[in-house]
Amino acid sequence: MDWFGRARVAFTHAPNPLSLKGKDGLQTDLLKICEQSTPPCRLNPLLFNGHIQTMWTVTQPHGPQVYYRRKIFDASHKTYTGTFAVDFAVDPHTDHDEPLPPRTAYFSDEAFASIGSDDERPMLIVLHGLSGGSHEVYLRHAIEPLLRDGGGDWDVCVVNARGCAHSAITSGVLFNARATWDVRQVVNWARETFPNRPLFGLGFSLGANILTNYVGEEGENCPLTAAVVVGNPFDLQLSSKALQRTWLGKEVYQRFMGTNMKKLIQRHKESIEKWTNLDFQGIQNITYLFEFDREVHRTSRCATWGYPTEEAYYRDASSSDSVLAIRIPFFAISAEDDPIAVKEAVPYQEFKQNPWTVLCTTSLGGHLSWFEFGGGRWHAHPISNFLKNMATKVDLSSIHKPANGKADGNFFQGAEFDPMRRKMEIVLD
């Protein structure tokens, strides 16, 4: 029972979680690391349910001040062409390039050319939620503890979805919940540029779904050391239906997200008309997110996608099955009262099957909210604690990824089930 903002915290995991060795030589496991990283969840009692927590977000225009330098990457994929923007957290500066978000300016070519290093600092690669960007308050709350005191011990970058955070759309390739190629390119670039750094991933909401799909696609070959996902909708079809069946879900959340996506398309009207076959006016006439997805993902409307319906897209892009394919330490955080990434879409049974994964659920928190007294966000604590514990307390060289997905006897070894089988074929390289 919840009382005065004190939320229940629960962990879902395999019977025998992934064994890990501490740098002190003692044995531990993934569950213990997650539990040690997760403080009690004590939220603002005046924000007593998921709807109020989630809606309170719009009253929070400020947050920790994080400064960025932006680099525009040319996509290396032969099919998914175009450009995308990556914002790197840097020391405070007074530059600001319009129309970029506050405290953001472009790298000079000379400065970015010298960014490479053989140091061993941990590096975090972050994915934001739907139509967001590096400027989002929930994201800055999460990474700020890693950047304190003039940069701290971490390097952090945020991969902005195409067209988001005032980035340009330069091809017919937009983003969606299966759009793993840009994060894959950044991870591979980081591995080459910083060969000695342990790389970590962090994803929020839609970005959490993308990151889960990416980690599942990579399997035992994933270059990331560990990953955290927060507020992942997991089953997109179920989440969409759950939102549509209630007045608040449809008229508040679906309408709000649909409006945000319409505005995104409107900002890029010239590029959309140049690079795609999308019906610009048809998109401007939609009201809800599922209507937007219907317009954008249906056959022949976009150079990338060819789904016959939005629900075919939702089924194909969902990351619930991807949980079974993960072969790196993976920590998921969700609120049971999340009105957008709903509880019934969380794949509890899959987390019980895979010892490389642990799910932490709180009874309160809303969608990417978890507001504490004083304006803090609870989710920042388990995220930063887990990443710091993995980077500083765990002997990362002791993590051995199993060949062919095999692990101890309790682990799912479905010879007849491929969790990453997709309806729409996408060549990953």
Active site residues: 205, 338, 367
| Residue appearing with tokens 């803090």 | 376
- CA of residue 200 relative to chain centroid, distance: 12
211 by Cβ neighbours in 10 Å (0-12 / 13-18 / 19+) ranks as buried
Phi, psi of 113 (to 5 degrees): -65, -25
Cβ count near 377 (within 10 Å): 24
Indicate the residue type of 225.
T
| Cβ neighbours of residue 273 closer than 8 Å, sequence gap 6 or more | 280
Q: CA-CA distance, 273 to 183, in Å (whole number)?
A: 26
SS3 category, 158: strand
Which of 260, 228, 268, 295 lies closest to 99 in space, CA to CA?
Answer: 268
Distance of CA 140 to the CA centre of its chain: 13
- Are 310 and 298 in contact by the 8 Å Cβ rule? The answer is yes
What separation in angstroms does the CA of 405 have from each of 89, 291, 340, 350, 379? Answer: 35, 38, 32, 15, 31
Strand partners, 201: 125, 227
